[in-house]
Structure 1
């Protein structure tokens, strides 16, 4: 934990003479700084070089090379798949040089131009979130439209199958490249804390600490706070231990340079001062320092937030959660179809697991327990039995050894679990029978985990989990499972309820595969 830092360096003016600094309450107040420029651009093509965070330069260079190679390989795949006489231009065999120039040079170059025009190389969209992939898809549509227009305008005889194969293969290969590069970038950020943005947080101390907790919760995001500049004075931070140094009464841009930052995050009420945020943005022009604003909107996903300016005032409109409508019907249909096919395909696995359970401990194969479902309705969840038949009778003697702080009883070394059951829990195979609940409409593939019904009515924020169907997997499971605290698990479940979408469900299902294979937090 860092100490509250208040010592300032003596300012030096352009004339070489140092001015006196007055000490008040153990921190220094600098004399008024000369007015900064008003943000008039120096040159239309001027681009400030970033002072510290330069990870994006080699990263973007790598993306450029890989994207060009992907487009060229896609052309090769299309040529090898179809007859070369049909692969591209009419009479290509008579002019192979021009044909190969277009296939392996101009078309890949056109992909790079389209990706650049759609800002797929903008560092703000690299490494996190779906925006990077959306921009790649837009670029693919633009390339397809451009090729079609040029072929029509020049009356070029093209093979539709070959060109379609080349464009689709290029899009898929570029998306695959982006996924692999993002995976490597996340590994670097998690393990060596590099390739990120060094942030200086500005605001009151509670607001800054809240933003610090949020941005450091996911190291893969690459946001690394290095300092806090409090707007409510040093007294507000006095005697409080903080994870990074705290400063007060400083020139913000000078502080950013001193701590080696490249991003300023204005937190909460610090952004409400009329004109202050605009003047700060002017001051940062040409400095290579990014400015971000962290409003007091927590756990609300981007698609629900829209900026609608009214007479120069940017209003943030927060849309209601999508808890009904066509998207929900599509989700229910996907659940039923996937559950039906899953039960058919996994029938041999179910039989093998049932035999293993009966050999390990005589008794029923399945365990059915009352759980609270959608809108408070109670149902019985299906699971493979992983504990001895007298497990419920032995629970009272183990309550004092509960390793969680929530409504579920969890022990890493629960003596009531027999050996085969321990394997089933670690691999999450014991959850597969819940496909029956999904098929019946009592559960969904993705959603908050159903909690026991014998704990009484849910109170407060926890009750909001009941607005959607409980799921076989969810944001809680892919974010740590049993290793998370109860409050963190509830926060993740409520985030899912407020921000779910079909794309988000597919993302969670994809992440579930990795979590299950890694056996993270399963016991």
Structure 2
């Protein structure tokens, strides 16, 4: 179990099997940025500069504004200055997946900065013209951020543009970190070794060049820092992860940070949190302590009102748009198999409240009575019942399931308030009876017509993966993430992967 370095390759071992990426991660010297990321940073500078300078210069010239060239240069410099002041051109920010909100905040700040600069140098320019001319740089910045993020994700899946990491901590903490990193390959970290605290044995196959003494026997001064620096140099690690624990006190971590920074190595602290979205984390200071506040997921306020309005209006609009599809599907079902067009089941919604969920019928009429005989053929490893080639599904039903058309009647459930457009899938009562305390938390929000499960593989996912995705949605929900899931749903429906 774990993510480890073997013969210079990035290796991921998971319950689904072992996947090896044969290309070794790029090595760098002394923790400096890799050539690929330096190139992307330079590209970001150029794109942002010309994205502000050219449209402003052209529009100011066309509308006969005074000093168009100077205005364009000031706009470009203001845009770059705001980005630089907010560290947008660092290796961590240039490939960030969050594009719209940071770009919009920077753009609004830039408008204020440019207004002050224009007044200071006595450049008179129409505010309306300037705002319109600067809209392209906002759009270009969002597009640039997203394209760079996708490019880096593709490179990381090929074991490129990675950061080589040394983990310092107790054996148990190191194993937890490795297990979490092994779940996905879209992050930038490849662990090349560990420096264990104490004498416990780790479950991973990572090299352990050195060990640190337990807290009671820890030496004073920089001896430990020199040991970790020597391990990092031996493994060519440019980043050190520190997992604090019982034997790794705060004072000890502080001395270690001094030594690493003096030695030119970067340090990151792992607080032990799992699957907490960045927008829920706030840092504060109290009497010299760094306090990390974890905000709860939004359950009231403007974002929730926006979600409710989007659900009702979106469901109503989709029902009108898909009216011809409803008629065609109903006719196909009625002409090809005996039985009603619609099918309903009792499902469990938010706070364990049952409701009647509607679907287009995709199975034979006697499907429910046949389920008991098919229990042994269940291909899902958890509480859900799924068979890839279910004999109860009709020929038309297979086509409807392939493109998720059988789910369209649930728009009526959304309109009635039983469901949301986005959320965990609603389970059956007998499935809920087998839930443990963790799995029940899936039902603390309204179930959805689509969700992370739908856009991440659907029935091809294991039960643990399904629960993890649902819990991530419940804990980290935001209105923006809902919009992202809705956009990704279109691609998932067309692709049809995992739909059966």
User: Same-fold call, TM > 0.5?
Assistant: yes
Instruction: Tell me, in whole angstroms, the C-alpha distance in 2 between the residues paired with 1:243 and 1:402.
Output: 35
Instruction: Tell me, in whole angstroms, the C-alpha distance in 1 between the residues paired with 2:147 and 2:85.
Output: 22
Instruction: Tell me, in whole angstroms, the C-alpha distance in 2 between the residues paired with 1:4 and 1:354.
Output: 53
Change (3 A) 1:184 1:2: closer
Map of 1:477 onto structure 2: 454
Change (3 A) 1:4 1:67: closer
Deviations 1:337-363 (A, max 9, x none): 111111111212222222233333233
How far 1:120 sits from its partner (Å)? 0.9
**In structure 2, which of residues 465, 484, 489 is the aligned counterpart of residue 488 of structure 1?**
465
**In structure 1, which of residues 190, 197, 201 is the aligned counterpart of residue 163 of structure 2?**
197
Change (3 A) 1:49 1:164: farther
Deviations 1:62-98 (A, max 9, x none): 222222333345437746xxxx5525x24xxxxxxx5
CA contact (8 A) 1:4 1:247 kept: no
1:121 aligns with 2:97: no
CA contact (8 A) 2:164 2:237 kept: yes
CA contact (8 A) 1:111 1:143 kept: yes
1:244 aligns with 2:212: no
Map of 1:219 onto structure 2: 185
**In structure 2, which of residues 261, 272, 280 is the aligned counterpart of residue 296 of structure 1?**
272
Deviations 1:153-206 (A, max 9, x none): 45544233321111122101111111112111111111x111121211221222
1:59 aligns with 2:28: no
How far 1:222 sits from its partner (Å)? 1.4
CA contact (8 A) 2:55 2:133 kept: yes
How far 1:210 sits from its partner (Å)? 1.5
1:395 aligns with 2:395: no
Instruction: Tell me, in whole angstroms, the C-alpha distance in 2 between the residues paired with 1:2 and 1:339.
Output: 43
Map of 1:414 onto structure 2: 390
Deviations 1:89-133 (A, max 9, x none): 24xxxxxxx524543x44334322221122111222233442x65
Instruction: Tell me, in whole angstroms, the C-alpha distance in 1 between the residues paired with 2:50 and 2:273.
Output: 42
How far 1:312 sits from its partner (Å)? 0.7
Change (3 A) 1:100 1:274: closer
Aligned length: 462
CA contact (8 A) 1:53 1:262 kept: no
Instruction: Tell me, in whole angstroms, the C-alpha distance in 2 between the residues paired with 1:4 and 1:462.
Output: 30
1:256 aligns with 2:232: yes
How far 1:273 sits from its partner (Å)? 0.7
Map of 1:70 onto structure 2: 51
Deviations 1:347-391 (A, max 9, x none): 122222222333332332222111000111111112222223332
Instruction: Provide the secondary structure at the position in 2 that maps to 1:224.
Output: strand
Instruction: Tell me, in whole angstroms, the C-alpha distance in 2 between the residues paired with 1:86 and 1:422.
Output: 59
1:343 aligns with 2:319: yes
Q: How does 1:59-138 map to 2 (within 5 A)?
A: 59-72=40-53, 74-75=55-56, 78=59, 84-86=61-63, 89-90=65-66, 98-100=67-69, 102-103=71-72, 105-130=73-98, 133-138=100-105
Change (3 A) 1:469 1:244: same
Instruction: Provide the secondary structure at the position in 2 that maps to 1:451.
Output: coil
Change (3 A) 1:332 1:52: closer
Q: How does 1:334-483 map to 2 (within 5 A)?
A: 334-455=310-431, 457=433, 458-483=435-460
If you compute each CA radius of gyration, which structure gives the higher value, 1 or 2? 1
Structure 1 stretch displaced more, 440-449 or 348-357: 348-357
1:505 aligns with 2:487: no
Deviations 1:13-55 (A, max 9, x none): xxxxxxxxxxxxxxxxxxxxxxxxxxxxxxxxxxx95257443
Q: TM-score, normalised by structure 1?
A: 0.81
Q: TM-score, normalised by structure 2?
A: 0.84
Instruction: Tell me, in whole angstroms, the C-alpha distance in 2 between the residues paired with 1:474 and 1:414.
Output: 23
Instruction: Tell me, in whole angstroms, the C-alpha distance in 2 between the residues paired with 1:247 and 1:410.
Output: 47
1:265 aligns with 2:233: no
Map of 2:143 onto structure 1: 176
Instruction: Provide the secondary structure at the position in 1 that maps to 2:44.
Output: helix
CA contact (8 A) 2:3 2:181 kept: no
CA contact (8 A) 1:216 1:224 kept: no
Structure 1 stretch displaced more, 139-148 or 106-115: 106-115
Instruction: Provide the secondary structure at the position in 1 that maps to 2:95.
Output: coil
Change (3 A) 1:159 1:310: closer
Change (3 A) 1:124 1:274: same
How far 1:471 sits from its partner (Å)? 1.0
Structure 1 stretch displaced more, 429-438 or 479-488: 479-488
Change (3 A) 1:376 1:369: same
Change (3 A) 1:348 1:289: farther
Instruction: Tell me, in whole angstroms, the C-alpha distance in 2 between the residues paired with 1:50 and 1:184.
Output: 22
Change (3 A) 1:58 1:134: same
Instruction: Tell me, in whole angstroms, the C-alpha distance in 2 between the residues paired with 1:65 and 1:154.
Output: 25
Map of 1:38 onto structure 2: none
